[in-house]
Structure 1
Amino acid sequence: MDEFGETKKKVDVGVILDLNSLVGSVANACIPMAISDFYAAHPFRTRLSLHVRSSDDVLAAALQQRVPHSTTQNPFFVRTALDDSSQAKAIAAIIHAYEWHEVVLLYENTEYGSGLIPYLSDEFQRFDIRVSSRFSVSTNYSNLTILKMLNNVMAMQTRVIVVHMTSSLGSKLFFLAKEATMISEGYVWIITDGLSSLLDPMGAEIIGSMQGVLGIRPYIPQSKRLEKFKKKWKRGIHSSSTKLNIYGYWAYDTVWALAKSVEMVPHKSSGVTRRSNRRNASQIPEIRVSAIGRSIRNEIVKKKFKGLSGDFSLVRGQLQSSAFEIINVVDKMEKVIGYWTVENGLTAELGKPVKATYSTSYHELKPPIWPGNTKAKPRGWTIPVVGKKLRIGVPVKPGFDAYLKVNRDPYTDEFIVTGFSYDVFKEALALLPFAVPLEPIPFPIGNDTGSGTYNELLYDVKLQKFDAAVGDITILANRSRYVDFTLPYLQSHVSMVVKIKDDGRKNMWIFLKPLSWDLWLTTGVAFICTGLVVWVLEHRINNEFGGSARQQVGTAFWFSFSTLVFAHREKIISNLSRVVLIIWIFVVLILTQSYTASLASMLTVQRLQPTVVDVNELKKNGDFVGYETGSFVKDLLVKQLDLDESKLKNYGTAEEFDEALSKGSQNGGVGAIFGTQHCVELFLAKYCNKYMTAGPTYKTDGLGFAFPQGSPLVAYISRAILSVTENKLKMDALEQKYFSQLKPCQIGSERTTISSDSLGLYSFGGLFIITAVASVCSLIIYFTEFLQSPWNAAHTVHDSSVWSRISELVKYLMANLLHKVS
């Protein structure tokens, strides 16, 4: 009966709690408060009657085994707490944001502990996060056993540790981890909500051992109703050691949802039926089954209201999370540094409009304090105390030490590798989110017994004799069939090196070189033709072009060639002559200016001319050709450039290059040497006054590092190489370290071959065409006007035939053209 004397329908509800745990004790205290508060505010006709049993009771244990732990396995199972998949997304987002790629999992060896692992594995896989090791910790482990396990973790390279345990086991773990000096700089500890939600009840001593730990827990929005409940809790009879947590809020809201649902269900029957359990009748008493259970379940999944924990809303029988708090343990206190939501990802504040993009940057969070009381973001790995090292095949060959050099330490007998290529590789490794200890193994390149080639080194990588090959290795398509290359750290190509010709300034006929022979010839013909055109247009009307035949020829040629220096004195009368002359003077001006500039350049600037222009000249001369020892250049010369293999010689050092080129092909040397860009540049830097590159270059994909096909390191190191090569300060420092002594010869400068220093006819073809068109058009107009009068006169004779008119015109033309010739 209620306070008005009305009889209320009693609905029996069984409650199973672990009364010995923080979760169970708080829930056991919050449930009666929920009953009291609900029926004080809602005078319903029904009333819940709760029957609490401890989880260690025989009947309760049996019932607990029958309750599935997934809402998808049994439609009658409703979870009013968050499932593990929600926090798995948040944890993976944090690890991804801080750019850590390997983690260690420490979890409790119970159904609670192992239940999160599948969800974490799925989320980690989405972000390419690898679980390097898993350690299950039993609640029965002694302190010594846990310390041994922690020592195993300490010996590994991974320093990002995710802990998923109950508060009782987790508090013991962190206390021992502090003793083992693992709550220190370089470590990252991330705890799940099982620990984050119960930090306060653990006490100051345990929290003090968790300095710098990150954790996530469901976000509880503040409300007046929640504050009122907290005050009521403090005024209650609860001991000071029992402190509120989110599990109490969920228990409170669950009771309200159940009470609301029960009120909506009709109660015409007795409400229960009896079912006998014959198999275990001696251990488990008869179980009563609700006859209205399905109706209650259908009502409870539809309930939506504001509870103590926030919005109470079930989707497919599962409570939905709104957000997770990200906390940082600092000075024995919990500091909220940000939030994670499904819509926005990581964010510093809640309540803002939904962003257009999902944030995955840790810069959205407030800066945390890490273990060791440092603000610097841990890199998440360290060099392991024990473990397998990466076997690196390093090509060793004499010469070109600036890129790679291998020495043996006389004291430790270990190989010491230096050089530009190896330092770029080490810089890339330093940017990886995990440690990669190296064991360099020399691989001789050359002609000696036991030496090999670059191709053989890469094939050993395919056979997994080496875990990688590091050096000045050119990326080629045929090599990528059996190894995987990183992105190139240096661009490269193959070029031809030849001797430089003597300086052309010592030639007594150098004044003829500015123009090619065809241009000289065309210019001369143009002078003659222009003089003749002007003579034709002027000699009938201009006395200065008259006189004897010899005088007229001399005047025509003199006038034409005098325009070269603008020294002509003859007066021009015909407008047609003026048009021709204006165009011709413009052409002469262009020619003279170009000739002067070219000749001045030849006389003042040293011209580097190659002794051999291209491969075709080498073939024609039958010259011997050199190439780098052990490189792919030999295949390029034979297969692509079609050179005779018997004409090829290999050389390994810059000194050998110099000696072979100095001798020449006729004296036991070579006419040219082909090499990759980085070797050619080093060679030219040392002998820049004797040799130069000539002919076309043959492009490659650059220099890179090789790994076995499918190696996961390729993607990591490729991204790291981009960061290194884009860092101008870093690259400048490496170049200064290895190439500073080569500055006088300007390593890397382009020394392109000039195919011909002379100006060609094609460059001035347009000018000559314009001159020719102007001259022809002027002659056509002249002759049209000249022949018009006699043709008309001959046409007036009636009995004249066409042939007779033509005869008269020829006579007239000869008489008038030779009129001035006397």
Structure 2
Amino acid sequence: MVKVWLLALMILYNGFSSTVDGIHNSTRPDFVNIGALFSFNTSVGRIIKIALDAAVEDVNSDPNILGDTKLRLSLQEDSKYRGFLSIAEVLQLMARDTVAIIGPHSSVTAHVITHIANELQVPLISFSALDPTLSSLQFPFFIRTCHSDLFQMAAIADLVDYYGWKEVIAVYIDDDNGRNGISALGDKLAEKRCRISYKAPVSPEATPEEITNVLVQVALAESRVIVVHANTLWGPKVFTVAKNLGMMGTGYVWIATAFLSAILDISSPLSSDKMDEIQGVLTPRVYTPDSELKRKFVTKWKNLTHGHTANGPLGLSFLSLYAYDTIFALAHALDAFFKQGNRITFSNDSKLSSLKGDNLHLDALNVFDEGNSLRRNIYEVNMTGVTGLFKYAPDKNLVNPAYEIMNVVGTGTRRIGYWSNHSGLSVIPPETLLSKPGNDFRESKKLFPVIWPGDTDQKPRGWVFPNNGRLLRIGVPIGVSYQQFVSQVPGTDTFQGFCIDVFLSAVNLLPYAVPYKFIPYGDHKNNPTNTELVRRITTGGSFSKDYLIHEIGIDESRLVPLVTQEEVARALKNGPQDGGIAAYIDQRAYMDIFLSSRCKFTIVGQEFTRNGWGFAFPRDSPLAVDLSTAILQMVDNGDLQRIHDKWLLSRACLSQGAKLEVERLKLKSFWGLYVICGSACLLALLIYVIQIIRQYIKHQAEEPDSPDQNPSPGSSSLRRFLSFADEKEETVKNRSKRKKMERISYRSSEGGSSSIISNKDYVAQPSSCIADSVSNGGSEKVFIKVV
């Protein structure tokens, strides 16, 4: 009976399971409609179409992914490649009850149609619309299946910082994608204390003449590091114009965003003329690690593109790889979607249905009821595809963004290194460094040598003095004292002085011309302060006063401000007793001038600080580095000393034959200390001699009684004393003890006392004794045998 019940339960369970499976199976439709919106008549569009078709075929032929459900791909031509006209095209895709749309290619179009995706709750999945702002919360149904431009801008910023450049010029298409990408570049450069010094936007429909006008302004600017952010259609035009303007030669640095590496991958080999226009350019290329899946797809790609190259080569780029993985990621998300019991249903949008009389037939559009569920499942995909690990981080960006840094050389490109958000720049593949902590690969932060524009391996300086007629404006203080440093020649616009000569000599050593103009400031009545002028150009305040108060610890009430040299001389002459000062503290250069005509004063003590003088430039000014190098060269060749002697040497005092003797402590100043130390040493020596003499006398008193005493007849008392004094105190004491014991033993034996000494052999070191106990008539005695 129990077996019958068990059999019945098993049948009931199996029936229930079959019913549940049938319900789940019923949620899986035979087909799932997905759409693709691209401009398929371009080379980029053609490779994307080939990759999408191949992925759909591979998914549909693998029952382990979606079971019996097949993907049905609807291709919609984004023929005009413009945002507004794409609206009608995307509406046609939406009217087919699609659950997701792959595309569009451009970020501009994505900005327009993502609002429609939000309204109809249909995921808009793109691997080529890389505008960072599309990842904002404003566009929840936009899903990027490639890395945002934010990461390649971080890679470019690291490049700029790696080579020591501080300013770049940005040339870009003036649209959403261009502006937002350059904004991201500016943020990343700021993190490296670099900046975009000049922005050169160009219209998306710009003619070669308009591009020429923009690049002419770029050529007049200071920076020679130019970043081009464009697309595959518009970007090559910039380099054509730049080549014609002579801007692809020595001294220039060109960095193109990933559009250039995509062109080189897709359309390789380019013609010799096109390659000549981009020689020496650096460009990041989206990095995908090597794997068995990728190698198989590379082999498959050759077969897929066979017969499709009538309009030009169709090489494999990151766009093809990510297009292929996008279909697989969507398939895995749909599989999870169906396993959760979800069904694909659509409902009318009341907002659209209320629009009457329109010719767009918006009432045909339906809302994807389970769009949010599918969106969540896409972000939960965790698979390995041809691009490597396909997984989303919490910020909804794919994990492990990485790029290869490519250098255009000759007829192709060469890799000079890698960049990843984990390890930064490196010559080691990013996946090798993923297992290491973020600060454990400083030794790998380097790149291979670059062939720069102009076919040179010498790193460009990255800037020149601008050729736009602007002069270097130099503020010159016009004071009433210390005019040896700087002063204006009366009745002229010229200036002279120590600082002027140093600057002119340094500028003459620069390898380029520096047009400049001196701008005087001051009222010719008071000494102007440099603090305000310096604050305008560099993140500082008064030096001497703050140093004395905060570093030395002098109370502010004890400080007396003095302006002119006459005031200083008078205050020093009067002294603190007559309302003057005890000491005057100022910067060393001012001191030299003050003493040059006042020989009775001198400098006492060491300088408080070694802070030097210099010329102030705006922060990160490239001229500051070159001018500092020139000043160091002046130090080496003696020019700086000659200029110093010309303006600051104390000639007045030297002409009078005065001896500027520094008031230092002399040897006689320490006579008291010497007397004390000498007396102490003599006293110690006297006490020591007395002790030695006492010990010697005591030793001599004991010496004649020794049985083995046999002094040398020729030995003198002085020699014996010196020998005694030379011996160590411990040796003398041990010898005295030994002799005492010998005398005790000797006297005992003479007294007739009998003893039995054991036949033991005693061995001891010199000057040592051995004791043994023997028995004598019941009493115990100790005898010492000296060996």
TM-score interval (norm. to shorter):
0.5 to 0.7
* Cα 1:687–1:358 shift into 2, 3 Å: farther
Query: Who is 1:590 aligned against?
Result: none
Partner amino acid for 1:142? T
The 2-side partners of 1:770 and 1:201 are apart by 94
Query: Who is 2:760 aligned against?
Result: none
Q: Within the alignment, does 1:704 sit opposite 2:610 as a pair?
A: no
Partner amino acid for 1:249? L
Give the counterpart of 2:145 among 73, 80, 88: 80
The superposition leaves residues 266-302 of structure 1 with CA deviations (integer Å, 9 ceiling, x where unpaired) of 3878723242523384224412333443343333222
Quote the sequence identity (%): 22
Partner amino acid for 2:672? L
Give the counterpart of 2:228 among 156, 159, 163: 163
The 2-side partners of 1:129 and 1:361 are apart by 23
How far 1:126 moved relative to its partner? 1.0
After superposition, residues 372-411 of structure 1 pair within 5 angstroms as: 372-386=454-468, 387=470, 389-393=472-476
How far 1:89 moved relative to its partner? 1.3
How far 1:233 moved relative to its partner? 2.9
How far 1:463 moved relative to its partner? 10
The 1-side partners of 2:535 and 2:421 are apart by 46
The 1-side partners of 2:301 and 2:569 are apart by 82
* Cα 1:380–1:45 shift into 2, 3 Å: same
Note if contact 2:573-2:580 (Cα within 8 Å) is conserved in structure 1: no
How far 1:452 moved relative to its partner? 4.8
Query: Who is 2:40 aligned against?
Result: 19
The 1-side partners of 2:565 and 2:440 are apart by 49
Q: Within the alignment, does 1:763 sit opposite 2:674 as a pair?
A: yes
Query: Who is 2:727 aligned against?
Result: none
Note if contact 1:393-1:457 (Cα within 8 Å) is conserved in structure 2: no
Query: Who is 2:171 aligned against?
Result: 106
Query: Who is 1:151 aligned against?
Result: 216
Partner amino acid for 1:49? R
Note if contact 1:396-1:406 (Cα within 8 Å) is conserved in structure 2: no
Q: Within the alignment, does 1:477 sit opposite 2:411 as a pair?
A: no
Partner amino acid for 2:77? S
Alignment length, in residue pairs?
Answer: 581
The 1-side partners of 2:324 and 2:687 are apart by 109
* Cα 1:219–1:761 shift into 2, 3 Å: same
Query: Who is 1:139 aligned against?
Result: 204
Note if contact 2:565-2:594 (Cα within 8 Å) is conserved in structure 1: no
The 2-side partners of 1:365 and 1:768 are apart by 72
How far 1:421 moved relative to its partner? 7.5
* Cα 1:305–1:147 shift into 2, 3 Å: same
- Partner-residue secondary structure (3-state), 1:264: helix
* Cα 1:31–1:698 shift into 2, 3 Å: closer
The 2-side partners of 1:206 and 1:639 are apart by 81
The superposition leaves residues 123-161 of structure 1 with CA deviations (integer Å, 9 ceiling, x where unpaired) of 122111122222221122222111111111111112211
Query: Who is 1:188 aligned against?
Result: 253
The 2-side partners of 1:713 and 1:57 are apart by 47
Query: Who is 1:560 aligned against?
Result: none
The 2-side partners of 1:349 and 1:770 are apart by 71
Note if contact 1:84-1:115 (Cα within 8 Å) is conserved in structure 2: no
- Partner-residue secondary structure (3-state), 2:233: helix
Give the counterpart of 1:302 among 380, 387, 390: 380
The 1-side partners of 2:212 and 2:224 are apart by 16
The superposition leaves residues 547-584 of structure 1 with CA deviations (integer Å, 9 ceiling, x where unpaired) of xxxxxxxxxxxxxxxxxxxxxxxxxxxxxxxxxxxxxx
The superposition leaves residues 608-655 of structure 1 with CA deviations (integer Å, 9 ceiling, x where unpaired) of xxxxxxxxxxxxxxxxxxx9995698399579964868999xxxxxxx
Query: Who is 2:452 aligned against?
Result: 370
The 2-side partners of 1:430 and 1:290 are apart by 72
Partner amino acid for 1:345? G
Partner amino acid for 2:328? W
Note if contact 1:216-1:325 (Cα within 8 Å) is conserved in structure 2: yes
Give me the CA root mean square deviation. 5.0
Query: Who is 2:263 aligned against?
Result: 198
Note if contact 2:289-2:388 (Cα within 8 Å) is conserved in structure 1: yes
- Partner-residue secondary structure (3-state), 2:190: helix
After superposition, residues 676-755 of structure 1 pair within 5 angstroms as: 677-678=588-589, 693=602, 695-696=604-605, 699=608, 702-705=611-614, 712-713=618-619, 730-731=635-636, 733-735=638-640, 738=643, 752-755=662-665
- Partner-residue secondary structure (3-state), 1:318: coil
After superposition, residues 521-536 of structure 1 pair within 5 angstroms as: none
Ranges in structure 2 where 5+ consecutive residues have no aligned partner: 1-27, 79-84, 95-112, 119-133, 550-560, 691-787
- Partner-residue secondary structure (3-state), 1:16: strand
- Partner-residue secondary structure (3-state), 1:761: helix
How far 1:324 moved relative to its partner? 0.7
Query: Who is 1:53 aligned against?
Result: 76
The superposition leaves residues 403-429 of structure 1 with CA deviations (integer Å, 9 ceiling, x where unpaired) of 768779x9xx87476757863798699
The 2-side partners of 1:174 and 1:632 are apart by 66
The 2-side partners of 1:388 and 1:214 are apart by 32
Partner amino acid for 2:303? K
The superposition leaves residues 476-529 of structure 1 with CA deviations (integer Å, 9 ceiling, x where unpaired) of 336999xxxxxxxxxxxxxxxxxxxxxxxxxxxxxxxxxxxxxxxxxxxxxxxx
After superposition, residues 506-521 of structure 1 pair within 5 angstroms as: none
Note if contact 2:475-2:521 (Cα within 8 Å) is conserved in structure 1: no
Query: Who is 2:346 aligned against?
Result: 273
The 2-side partners of 1:740 and 1:706 are apart by 20
Partner amino acid for 1:176? V
After superposition, residues 85-96 of structure 1 pair within 5 angstroms as: 85-96=150-161
After superposition, residues 319-468 of structure 1 pair within 5 angstroms as: 319-350=398-429, 351-353=431-433, 354=436, 357=439, 364-386=446-468, 387=470, 389-393=472-476, 415=494, 419=498, 423=502, 438-441=516-519, 451-452=524-525, 455-458=527-530, 461=533
Partner amino acid for 1:158? S
Query: Who is 1:634 aligned against?
Result: 568
Note if contact 2:479-2:528 (Cα within 8 Å) is conserved in structure 1: no
The 2-side partners of 1:718 and 1:631 are apart by 32
Note if contact 1:338-1:347 (Cα within 8 Å) is conserved in structure 2: yes
Note if contact 1:417-1:440 (Cα within 8 Å) is conserved in structure 2: no
The 1-side partners of 2:264 and 2:660 are apart by 67
Partner amino acid for 1:333? G
Note if contact 1:326-1:336 (Cα within 8 Å) is conserved in structure 2: yes
* Cα 1:426–1:292 shift into 2, 3 Å: farther
Note if contact 1:59-1:284 (Cα within 8 Å) is conserved in structure 2: no
The 1-side partners of 2:685 and 2:184 are apart by 87
How far 1:265 moved relative to its partner? 3.1
* Cα 1:642–1:777 shift into 2, 3 Å: same
The 1-side partners of 2:505 and 2:233 are apart by 44
The 2-side partners of 1:340 and 1:429 are apart by 41
How far 1:680 moved relative to its partner? 6.1
Partner amino acid for 2:390? F
Query: Who is 1:799 aligned against?
Result: none
How far 1:346 moved relative to its partner? 0.9
* Cα 1:763–1:319 shift into 2, 3 Å: same
The 2-side partners of 1:771 and 1:256 are apart by 100
How far 1:720 moved relative to its partner? 7.9
The 2-side partners of 1:362 and 1:753 are apart by 57
Note if contact 1:46-1:262 (Cα within 8 Å) is conserved in structure 2: no
The superposition leaves residues 233-262 of structure 1 with CA deviations (integer Å, 9 ceiling, x where unpaired) of 343545343333211211111111112222
The 1-side partners of 2:361 and 2:443 are apart by 55
Partner amino acid for 1:248? S
Partner amino acid for 1:13? I
Note if contact 1:637-1:643 (Cα within 8 Å) is conserved in structure 2: no
